[in-house]
Structure 1
């Protein structure tokens, strides 16, 4: 068994959009530590942005983990600290604030996607896109129960009502999916400002043959051209081809028989 390394390119963009006065989104791009995050704050002026920034600020202190389980443990510890901080701010101001979060962790040739709320993680593999995350929203629950269709959900009046978020309760509820990283994989993390205006097929088309920076900028331009009714944040992580030998970060190492 020998060791190979997969090169990693990543990029992120964030914009307040064409309607909102403030950008309450935050994001983190940390290829050296294998952490990428988007967060969409809620709570109004000088509140939502505080919540999303708290998440990103705490997750930026994860540092270099010793293993994939250690990375996951560090992530959950920092997210817990952010939750406590946001709860404290909510109590001091007498209001409820919070934030969605969608994160990609990558180490030792494996990935884990973790999320709360309606910010999403997509995987483009072999030129085919799939949504890894599953929205924590009222409208998704209606779809799951067969009350409305996915097509009806796009125009449903309460489609933006989320059922899970960081900072809204003492207990954190996050979902996760994990798997093996493959050469050529493209991960797309986004707040709902992207998916409100751009289809999954358009995300796939924009990412398969572009650099992460070009793909992010092209998707942002698409959203802005369509009215950008919300803040929009996009983080793209592209896994390169296998390389022999041990290489320093930002490379992901995995064993190969």
Structure 2
């Protein structure tokens, strides 16, 4: 795995200063031959895409999606409209690529971005599929995004417990993706900017191997984002590394001016 490093950014706000620190890492894992995950961690957008599809299809789908979103960051304005336009372009890229003939080709997409154009800055999470955003705040860890999966629908309907879901045979079946036959509109959620927040954005390669409590443990044991990514990655690989694993850790420090 390439060396994971911590990046920082100072964001001036009205009456305050935001200090952001983040790190990202990805690993093929122990059982896959190809890494079909892709990651973009460039202020103000932090996302993970987990590709799926035969041959090279999943790798192409996730890479195309991240490339189109990188162009949004480079353009200077990240918003739902710009994100959805980029995803529509990514779908066209996927459909037109000669290696993506598999009907199951597509990718999850999850993450968050900082919206500073409004009077009060806020985070916006975005999600398609079963990659996840977690938030550690005041010693509590919560899964911010809701999985688009068969298992999650069964849990929501009261037909399956979270414990039963862990080993369910349909555990890998998602109900929404960025791909030829699916809507490219993510779910969005606004979150306030709070001093001390720590976010984890990850593919399901991490959550297959670590519980929410495990993620919380490694965040609390590692103040530096790069160290937290490395520790979680090592633990996920030690626990089996059954899938590609991608992790972003993002720390938020808000200081009054």
The answer to whether TM tops 0.5 is yes
Task: Please list every run of 5 or more consecutive structure 2 residues that lacks an aligned counterpart in the other structure.
Answer: 1-12
1:178 maps to 2:190? yes
Question: Where does 1:130-149 land on structure 2 (aligned, <5 Å)?
Answer: 130-149=142-161
Q: CA deviation at 1:92?
A: 6.8
Q: Are 2:84 and 2:185, in contact at CA under 8 Å, matched by a contact in 1?
A: no
Q: CA deviation at 1:78?
A: 1.2
Distance 2:149 2:98 in 1: 22
Distance 1:88 1:115 in 2: 24
Q: Are 2:51 and 2:59, in contact at CA under 8 Å, matched by a contact in 1?
A: yes
Q: CA deviation at 1:91?
A: 9.3
Distance 1:123 1:218 in 2: 18
1:86 maps to 2:94? yes
The number of residues matched between the two structures is 239
Distance 2:216 2:100 in 1: 43
Greater Cα shift, 126-135 or 1-10: 1-10
TM-score, with length taken from structure 2: 0.87
SS of 2:17's equivalent in the other structure is strand
1:62-82 CA deviation, whole Å, 9 max, x = no partner?
13546xxx5332222212211
Higher relative contact order (CA 8 A, sep 6+): 1
Distance 1:21 1:6, change over 3 A: same
Who is 2:31 aligned against?
A: 19
Who is 2:241 aligned against?
A: 228
Who is 1:194 aligned against?
A: 206
Distance 1:146 1:2 in 2: 45
Task: Please list every run of 5 or more consecutive structure 1 residues that lacks an aligned counterpart in the other structure.
Answer: 245-257
